[in-house]
Chain A
Amino acid sequence: MSVDHGIGDTSLALDGNAAAGLMRELFAFDITTARLTCDGCGTVSEVATARVYGGTMGAILRCAHCDLVVIRLAKTPAGYFLDMQGARQVFVAR
Chain B
Amino acid sequence: MPATEVARKDVSPRRLQWLTATVNDVIDETPRTRTLVLDVPEWPGHRAGQHVDVRLTGDDGYQAQRSYSIASAPEDTRLMLTVERIEDGEVSPYLAGDVQAGDQFELRGPIGGYFVWTAALGGPLFLVAGGSGVVPLMAMLRHRAVARSNAQTVLLYSSRTQEDIIYRAQLDELAATGDGLKVVHTLTREKPAGWTGGTRRIDRAMLSEFGFPLSTKPHMFICGPTPLVESAARALSALGHEPARIKTERFGPTGG
User: At the interface, yes or no: B159 with Cβ under 8 Å from chain A?
Assistant: no
- Using an 8 Å CB-CB cutoff, how does the interface string of B181-208 with A read, 1 for contact, 0 for none? 0000000000000000000000000000
Q: How far is the CA of A7 from the CA of B86 in the complex (A)?
A: 12
- Using an 8 Å CB-CB cutoff, how does the interface string of B216-229 with A read, 1 for contact, 0 for none? 00000000011100
A-B interface contact total, Cβ < 8 Å: 107
Interface size on A, residues (CB 8 A): 30
User: At the interface, yes or no: B113 with Cβ under 8 Å from chain A?
Assistant: yes
Q: How far is the CA of A47 from the CA of B112 in the complex (A)?
A: 11
Choose from A5, A7, A21, A24 the contact partner of B252 (Cβ within 8 Å).
A5
A24-B111 contact, Cβ under 8 Å, with A2-B84, A4-B86, A29-B11? yes
Q: Is the CB of B114 within 8 A of A3?
A: no
Q: Is the CB of B89 within 8 A of A17?
A: no
A12-B248 contact, Cβ under 8 Å, with A1-B51, A17-B51, A30-B112? no
Choose from B11, B68, B132, B248 the contact partner of A49 (Cβ within 8 Å).
B248
Which of under 10, 10 to 19, 20 to 34, or 35 or more describes the interface residues of B?
35 or more
Q: How far is the CA of A15 from the CA of B82 in the complex (A)?
A: 20
Q: Is the CB of A18 within 8 A of B86?
A: no
**What are 28 A-B interface contacts by the 8 Å CB criterion?**
A1-B51, A1-B69, A2-B68, A2-B86, A2-B92, A2-B133, A2-B135, A2-B251, A3-B251, A4-B66, A4-B89, A4-B90, A5-B254, A9-B252, A11-B253, A12-B226, A12-B250, A12-B253, A17-B249, A20-B114, A21-B109, A24-B111, A28-B13, A30-B10, A30-B111, A33-B114, A46-B114, A48-B247
List 4 other contacts, CB 8 Å, given A21-B109, A29-B13. Answer: A1-B66, A5-B252, A30-B112, A32-B112
